[in-house]
Amino acid sequence: MDNVDFAKSLIKGRIAETIFAQMLRGTKEFTVLEFGYEKIIPELVQQGYIENRDTINILRTAPDFAVINRKTKTVRLIEVKYERTISPKFVLGHAKKMSQSWNPSYLFVATLDGFYFDEISEIIKNNGDISPLRHPQISDEIQGKYIEILRDFERNN
The confidence score (pLDDT) of residue 51 equals: 63
Distance CA 132, CA 9 (A): 23
Tally of structural domains, the chain: 1
Identity at 102, one-letter amino acid code: W
Q: What is the mean pLDDT of residues 118-125?
A: 98
Question: What is the residue range of 94's domain?
Answer: 3-156
Average pLDDT along the chain: 90
The model carries a pTM of 0.89
The confidence score (pLDDT) of residue 52 equals: 66
Tens of pLDDT, residue by residue over 6-19, are 888 888 899 999 99
Distance CA 11, CA 147 (A): 15
pLDDT band at 55 (very low <50, low <70, confident <90, very high): confident
Tens of pLDDT, residue by residue over 100-119, are 989 899 999 999 999 999 99
In a 13 Å sphere around the CA of 111, the CA atoms on its Cβ side amount to 19
CATH number at residue 116: 3.40.1350
Q: What is the mean pLDDT of residues 23-49?
A: 83
Instruction: Tell me the C-alpha to C-alpha distance, in Å, between residue 7 and each of 3, 10, 75, 156.
Output: 6, 5, 31, 14
